Structure 1
Amino acid sequence: MKPLPSKDEIRQWISENPGLAAKRDIAKAFGIKGDARIALKALLRELEGEGVVEKSGRRFRAPGVLPPVAVLQVLAPDAAGDLFARPLEEGVAEGPRILIVAQKGDPALGAGDRILARLAKVEAEDRDYEARLIRKLGSNPAKVLGVFRQGAEGGRILPIEKGSDREWRVASDMTGGARDGELVEAEAVGGRRLGLPAARVVARLGDPAGPRAASLIAIHQHGIPDVFPDAVIAEADRAEPVGMMGREDLRDLPLVTIDPVDARDRDDAVYAEADRDPGNPGGFVIWVAIADVAHFVTPGSALDREARRRGNSTYFPDRVVPMLPDILSGDLCSLHEGVDRACIAVRMVIDKDGHKRSHRFVRGMMRSVASLHYAQVQAAVDGAPDEKTAPLVDWVLKPLYAAYAALKQAREQRQPLDLELPERKIELGEDGRVVSVAFKERLEAHKLIEEMMILANVAAAEELIRLKRPLLFRVHEEPSPLKLEGLREVAEGAGLTLAKGQVLQTRHLNRLLAQAEGTEFDELINLSTLRSMTQAYYHPENFGHFGLALRNYAHFTSPIRRYSDLIVHRALISAHGWGKDGLSAWDEQNLEETGKLISEAERRSMAAERDTNDRYLAAYLADRVGAEFAGRISGVQRFGVFVRLDETGADGLIPVRALGREYFNYDEGSQTLRGSETGMVLGIGQKVMVRLAEAAPVTGGLILELLSVEGAAMRPSRRSGGKYSPRKPAQAAAKRRLVRKRR
């Protein structure tokens, strides 16, 4: 038998042959066969234990030496514009510097992209390796957000997502200094082998139960960019107030801003007056002025690229992640009281019935006479003005409400979808903890601003269509036939009617909602109608807005917090020849891709905001475990029933296993669970009493126990000698009709 090589010989061979360093390659190189392979395996383990070699997958390598072909993650360009990368090999904690050497025909690479590359070691001051692209693999590796638990050899990461039980192992050299119990961000490394998948800690985020941690978790979990690059901040810092050149002077118009009391930015102002044209008796002139963000955020600039990447601002109870740096969003662009601000404004003339007769767009300069909030305005019009609103009631606020009364008539004729779904508001104390949860009051002042913004958005879309200019429309398509049939079956099961055999219009859905109003099926029909809707999105083709019952609609009124509105502003600037900061050729060529990106960003923000609210609510209820709550079933799935609690609007889950020993049949069409023995039917909208069994602030999950349905207490199934009668006779009959129809 050929003698085994020495440890030095093996180490030297591995260093010289990084691409052929599997055990079988080493055995072949030294002529080792048969039982001698067992001794070689033991020798390699000793070398690994001594730190002389490292093992990645099935291959061995010298410490700090990368294989000739590796998976890399592209980093952000450095100050010189060069792209560097870091290895995603398991076992490489702090990788060497790798410069990506671009070759003709290579695709464009950006920060976060994953590539397969051929590596060559070099002797240079600023890099250890050079990489040449073999192929692009995709974007960021799987991100992991969880709680780090220290172990003897590194540790584990426990998930924080609701319903997830997946854990990750972390090697001792990949913990990033994380401490036991800390919230960490990590990324997957290496390939999947037997046992838990491996991850590397890349960021420590602190105590997961600490105040204000809920939004931080959501920001990292959903990948929301929350740190502006230096180039973006530098560009924003160079911005200066706008001059009058090329602008129409609107500073004599008594425009006011009306926002939430805690508004962080003010991007729209309004003014209305009776139309003096004798040909339009009872009509009004309405001005809507919007912050001229396009002046500051020009196509192709660092600010523009970052705003497009973010898509929109994201709002949490304790913070906002803005689309633009604060010097713009909170100062130079914001329409503050008593200061000159650049704007793009539209003058609209409506008749006495609220129909728009004409519009005219201008690029101007305005000066807000007052920054007001909704409740303050409503109180003033209702007869209780304060010191600030008293001088404005007769000549500013009452004309606004008079114009709104006309717009309401047009709205009633148009019949947009009229859902009644209250919105909750989470109040935080100075320590960042929830002090109260209430439902937002919807005042006439809210509706006034909403109608005037809708009118301005319609005018923007119509203006650009008239001028044959490209833009991004806000598209909301009608429900799919499948979802519509599901809604119709739910309605029929409740003894209500949704018209069939005709082109669906929002007035048909409103008729259904009106039938349910004030009945025990009110919330059932509102929730089911909402869930039948498609998601709105942005697109350069005009497919109309079903929910608002409008043929032409674009977002124009919030460019501080939505990139879509900035695109519309640029289109208006180009169309009217107002300057060189209009829609660029690149903008026009990439409109569809931009629409897709910002639609995805919008959904990302909505998910992050929802998850944050869930975590805050779970923290708020954590000390009330065992308490009983009234609620309504808000969703039904095969695995259980979701209940929305009346007091807070929080959603909790009753797992199907907790409903009893009997088997529950799930009917997807009617969104119901039906007990095989008791005949108990659980469906959306039913009133229930539940007990809070578990509240997990880190995940935002609430687990509930069902106590009663529609006033009937839970009873054991026949296996335990009992019988259950869940519903009032009328409800039971309605649900039986529904189930029979589905079968």
Structure 2
Amino acid sequence: MGGRNPSDPQPTACPSPDVPPTDPRPPAPPQPGGGLPDREALRRFVTEASGRVGKREIARAFNLGPEHKAALRAMLRELALEGTLVPAGARRFRASAAMPEAALVQVTGTDPDGDPIARPVVWDGDGPAPVVFMHPEQKGRPALAPGERVVARLKRLGPGRYEGRTLRRLTDAPGRIVGVFRPTTLYDGPGPLAPPRRHAEAGRLVPADRRAKAEWIIPAGETMGAEAEEVVVAEPLPLAGSGLKPARIVARLGPMGDARSVSLLAIHTHSIPDQFPAEALSEAERARGVSPEGREDLRDVPLITIDGEDARDFDDAVYAEPDGDGFRLIVAIADVAHYVRPGSALDREARRRGNSVYFPDRVVPMLPEALSNGWCSLRPGEDRGCLFAEIFIDAAGNKTRHRFGRGIMRSAARLTYDQAQAIVGNVEESQQETGLPDGLINTLFTAWRALSTARARRGTLDLDVPERVVRLDTSGRITAIEPRPRHDSHRLIEEFMVLANVAAAEELERRRRPCLYRIHAPPSPERAEAMRDSLSAMGFDLPPPGALRARDLGAVLARAAQGEASGPASGTPVSGTLVSETILRAQSQAEYSPDNIGHFGLALPAYAHFTSPIRRYADLLVHRALIGMGTQPADGMPAADAACLDEIGEQVSTAERRAALAERETTERYVAAWLADRVGAEFSGHVSGVTRFGAFVTLTQTGATGLVPVSTLPDDVWTHDEKTQTLRGRHGGLALRLGQPVTVRLVEATPVTGGLLFALVGANPAAASGPARRARGTRPR
């Protein structure tokens, strides 16, 4: 196995904890008589601060007393709602991040008109980095290619949108390109049409990134023997001037139709580490079982694991028994911290990876297989070290108390979700098929129902967004693409894990120990307002952004599920899936941070990931913090890590987003390959997004999403209404709006990018608003 690539990102280096923190508060002139500052003075004070500030720092700077507390809180809330300030941890604020006048940006793709789109290389603001729409380069200069970095002069266009003009180009091409090789023949004849030949061309490289519009020339002698339609990795070759750029193939990943090639394409495109250093592998191979000494013995407790049929590792086990009117629950998690010690080669590699990445044909694990599928997998009948949470709940599902411990356990059974669902309610079958104690499965489900009741009272956000699963046969061919089933057994495990995660966060918070929280901020004011507009067009009302809670969105989802609302034009019920997609688009991304701002979606004041240390580095840090309470064992959290949880949280959050993108793109490529043989076929679906350049349609059967370009719509002048999310023909009267049922014809399926192009066959006639009339003196485009 290969070692670390020097070009791979290294684990974040944190500042020394011995350096005293600087005071983030700028000097502020005291107000005469200690009066409340005006909005501009308060905004200027927070803006000039070098870090986060809270009400205590503000009160000290402006000589405020307790009588100003309510007014200050109201002023801070107003400034946050208008976007001048943003929440930055528990009861702390900082100035809203704005792009400077000039910044370093990297080109990520092109818009439908072929103009480059970029994003800032460094972004410290909340939510996704803003989009920079770059002006075309001056005449005679090559266009900006995806991957290039430039210093750009920026002008704000609106929330999250900037206009950019190139001041200085820093790179001429991306470091490497992943795509499909296609042999080609150039025109060799004489005359003015013959292009200047700096390289004898052997073929073209079609980039896998669908945002990259330009192909690359592969010169003769630089193909590495690649065959037609083979997935390859290439690096740019130097070339001055305009036109397509040349590249050299440096790795062959396999035929495009091969399942292994599809996942390898994603791995290389996103630079996901898939080779463990020899030192880390050696540490994993030396691992052995834990000793019972110093651990609580749980081997007589019939803990069981419940996972998917295709699960590769088992890192959580559950148990429940009646306790008076309530229940005693145990959630036991593999003791990964015992094997992955701080500062070890395993620890450095796990932090670099951040998490495991799951593809239909493989897993890129965070830990070597000797641990992830061996000593840290809770296999039935084998002794394993664990960290456990013993939790007591009442009949209404409220947690009454909990405790954490380090133990040794022996899983009594490994069940799949389907098996657990089939067993529930049948005690005799449970005994016959699994050998489990009478009623254990029923007790687990009864406890889950109590927890579900508490969840409903709390008012959480449960989005109905179907997850697609790709089924492959033994040779890697696609056999089916279908929604992943959701049973009560899935929800049972989820609810038990949420309960344990809450207990872990509360325990560390109570003991004032460092904790990497799982946080989820409410939607930004801009996104919340856009969501209100979209849902209003569907017949739903929401409170203003400042008063929005997860239970408000849950109520909308419940109404949609019951068909209580309909689109104003069509009069047809709005699908719950569409409402879920609309709400999902407005959500902030969950992330990891030592500053606890709560979890909006789960409606929880404190939440931390504790239950999957095999596949998430954040969970391993929570384990170390729990282990270190009261003592500092060798596998507890070091002071250096505790001092730089901000940097670690940002690093693992980035790795999580990278994994999610790679997994989603892989599924899209499988879907495109699945549909490639059905070009020309018609499918039913609904409009899931509208833009100025067309409408996105999601197919009912597979959940695949593709674009209906505006150029394929009936001849008309099409305008996009961003507020109502409608694409309307000015003269013909036809309108496409979110949720509208449509029939489309598949025009193109491109497996290398995962892109689908549709043409509109028919739309709900009721969606046309107004008579099809033409304004005087105008004609369709």
Residues 400 and 76 of structure 1: is their aligned pair in 2 closer, same or farther, counting only changes over 3 Å?
closer
Partner of 2:376: 333
| Cα pair distance change 1:252/1:140, threshold 3 Å | farther
Asked whether the 8 Å contact 1:212–1:318 carries over to 2, the reply is yes
Name the residue aligned to 2:704. Answer: 650
Equivalence for 1:28: none
How big is the shift at 1:533? 0.5
What does residue 247 of structure 1 align with?
295
Q: 1:623 to 1:156 in 2, by over 3 A?
A: closer
Distance in 2 (CA, whole Å) between partners of 1:629 and 1:335 is 44
Structure with the greater alpha carbon radius of gyration: 1
What CA RMSD, in Å, does the superposition of the two structures yield over aligned residues? 2.6
Deviation, structure 1 residue 501: 7.4
Shift in CA distance, 381/216, structure 1 to aligned 2, threshold 3 Å: same
Q: CA distance change for structure 1 residues 687 and 393 in 2, over 3 Å: closer, same or farther?
A: farther
Q: CA distance change for structure 1 residues 485 and 714 in 2, over 3 Å: closer, same or farther?
A: closer
- The structure 2 residue matched to 1:675, chosen from 729, 736, 753, is 729
Deviation at 1:393, TM superposition (A): 6.4
Moved more, 502-511 or 214-223: 502-511
**What is the rounded CA distance, in whole Å, between the counterparts of 1:157 and 1:173 in structure 2?**
14
Which residue number in structure 2 is paired with residue 573 of structure 1? 627
Corresponding residue for residue 91 of structure 1: none
Matched with 1:147 is 180
Which of 517, 521, 530 is the matching residue for 2:574?
A: 521
User: How many angstroms does 1:667 deviate by?
Assistant: 2.0
User: Structure 2 matches for 1:183-582, cutoff 5 A?
Assistant: 183-190=231-238, 193-275=241-323, 281-383=324-426, 385=429, 389=433, 391-392=435-436, 394-500=438-544, 503-519=547-563, 520-522=573-575, 523-577=577-631, 579-582=633-636
8 Å Cα contact 1:706-1:714 kept in structure 2: no
Name which of structure 1's ranges 667-676 and 380-389 shifts more when overlaid on structure 2. Answer: 380-389
CA distances 1:4-49 after superposition (whole Å, capped 9, x unpaired): xxxxxxxxxxxxxxxxxxxxxxxxxxxxxxxxxxxxxxxxxxxxxx
1:212 counterpart SS class: helix
Q: Evaluate the alpha carbon distance shift between residue 175 and residue 585 of structure 1 in structure 2; reply closer, same or farther with a 3 A threshold.
A: farther
% same residue = 51
Superposition deviation, residue 717 in structure 1: 8.2
CA distance in 2, matches of 1:474, 1:138: 36
Question: Residue type matched to 1:376 in 2?
Answer: Q
- Please say which of residues 361-370 and 663-672 is displaced more in the overlay: 663-672
| CA distance in structure 2 between the partners assigned to 1:145 and 1:544 by the alignment | 39
Distance change (3 Å), C-alpha of 1:259 and 1:138: farther
Aligned to 1:69: none
How far, CA to CA, are the matches of 2:172 and 2:708 in structure 1? 37
**Structure 2 counterpart of 1:608:** 662
TM-score of the two chains, using structure 2 as the length reference: 0.71
Cα distance 1:142–1:339, how it changes in 2: closer, same or farther (>3 A)?
Answer: same
Structure 1, unmatched stretches of 5+, are 1-72, 78-113, 115-136, 276-280, 720-743
* Alpha-carbon displacement from aligned partner over 1:299-322 (angstroms, at most 9, x marks no partner): 111111111111111111111111
Amino acid in the other structure paired with 1:287? I
Aligned AA for 1:178? Answer: A
How far does the alpha carbon of each residue in 1:112-160 deviate from its partner, in whole angstroms, 9 at most, with x for none? xx9xxxxxxxxxxxxxxxxxxxxxx999953211122446345432222
**Residues 645 and 75 from structure 1, CA distance in 2 versus in 1: closer, same or farther, beyond 3 angstroms?**
closer
Aligned twin of 2:151: none
Q: How much does 1:74 deviate? A: 5.2
Deviation at 1:586, TM superposition (A): 2.6
Aligned residues: 585
Q: Secondary structure of 2:438's partner?
A: helix
**CA distance in structure 2 between the aligned counterparts of 1:308 and 1:542, rounded to whole angstroms:** 21
**Does 2:677 correspond to 1:633?**
no
**SS of aligned partner of 1:394:** coil
Structure 2 unaligned segments of length 5 or more: list them: 10-147, 149-169, 185-199, 564-572, 775-781
**After superposition, what is the alpha-carbon deviation per residue over 1:47-89, rounded to whole angstroms, capped at 9, x for unaligned?**
xxxxxxxxxxxxxxxxxxxxxxxxxx95689xxxxxxxxxxxx
The 1:264/1:587 distance shift into structure 2, 3 A limit, reads: same
Cα distance in structure 2, aligned partners of 1:610 and 1:261: 21
| Deviations, residues 394-446 of structure 1 (Å, cap 9, x unaligned) | 34211111211211111111011022222222111122111112212211111
Tell me which amino acid in the other structure corresponds to 1:470.
P
**2:734/2:768 contact within 8 Å kept:** no
Displacement of 1:347 = 0.4
**1:102 maps to which residue?**
none
Contact persistence 1:628–1:692 (CA under 8 A):
yes
Corresponding residue SS for 1:575 = coil
**Code of the aligned partner of 1:426:** V
Distance 1:250 1:334 in 2: 16
Shift of 1:578: 7.0
Shift of residue 262 of structure 1?
1.2
SS in 2 for 1:468: coil
Letter in 2 for 1:556: F
Describe how 1:90-101 pairs up with structure 2 within 5 A: none
For the residues of structure 2 that align with 1:683 and 1:696, how far apart are their CA atoms? 26
Cα–Cα, structure 1 residues 576 and 456, in superposed 2: closer, same or farther, change >3 Å? farther
Alpha-carbon contact 1:708-1:714 (below 8 Å) kept: no
C-alpha distance in structure 2 between counterparts of 1:419 and 1:375, whole Å: 22
Q: Is the 8 A contact 1:256 1:371 kept in 2?
A: yes
Write the deviation string for residues 516-542 of structure 1: whole angstroms up to 9, x where unpaired: 223322333221111111110111110
- Could you tell me how far apart the structure 1 residues matched to 2:430 and 2:474 are? 27
What is the alpha-carbon distance in structure 1 between the residues aligned to residue 679 and residue 437 of structure 2? 49
